[in-house]
Amino acid sequence: GQNIDQPTEMTATEGAIVQINCTYQTSGFNGLFWYQQHAGEAPTFLSYNVLDGLEEKGRFSSFLSRSKGYSYLLLKELQMKDSASYLCAVRVLTGTASKLTFGTGTRLQVTL
């Protein structure tokens, strides 16, 4: 099976930088996604890593180390609208099937 761990909650100040960590244990790993989900809304894609290293996309960056089973999402210049849950999801290939398994999410609260 898959096991994905991320902190339950984090708080940060507007304008600051926050790093949300995710560790995973899985077989058939084939990519890691980060999604943002505002309360009661659909998750939306933020970032994707399949190879080791850093992917940067505006204020958001994501890092992956496959050997360590570790990823982080870095959010810079935090804004109030960044208050949301951030979901780490691992893509697993099993035969011809591919599915995303999600962590429970990290609820980020951005304060003034």
Partner 1 sequence: DSGVTQTPKHLITATGQRVTLRCSPRSGDLSVYWYQQSLDQGLQFLIQYYNGEERAKGNILERFSAQQFPDLHSELNLSSLELGDSALYFCASSVGLTSGRPGELFFGEGSRLTVL
Interface residues with partner 1 (CB under 8 A)? Answer: 30-31, 33, 40-45, 48, 87, 89, 91, 94, 96-105
**Which residues, at least 6 apart from 34, have a Cβ–Cβ distance to it below 8 Å?**
22, 46, 47, 48, 60, 62, 71, 73, 86, 87, 88, 89
- Residue nearer to partner 1 on the CB measure, 41 or 77: 41
Question: Residue 81 Cβ, how far from partner 1 at the closest point, in Å?
Answer: 18
d(CA 49, CA 68): 14
Question: Residue 72 Cβ, how far from partner 1 at the closest point, in Å?
Answer: 18
- Residue nearer to partner 1 on the CB measure, 13 or 98: 98
Question: Residue 82 Cβ, how far from partner 1 at the closest point, in Å?
Answer: 19
d(CA 64, CA 54): 7
- Residue nearer to partner 1 on the CB measure, 16 or 93: 93
CB 94 within 8 A of CB 108: no
Question: Residue 10 Cβ, how far from partner 1 at the closest point, in Å?
Answer: 15
- Residue nearer to partner 1 on the CB measure, 1 or 112: 1
d(CA 97, CA 90): 14
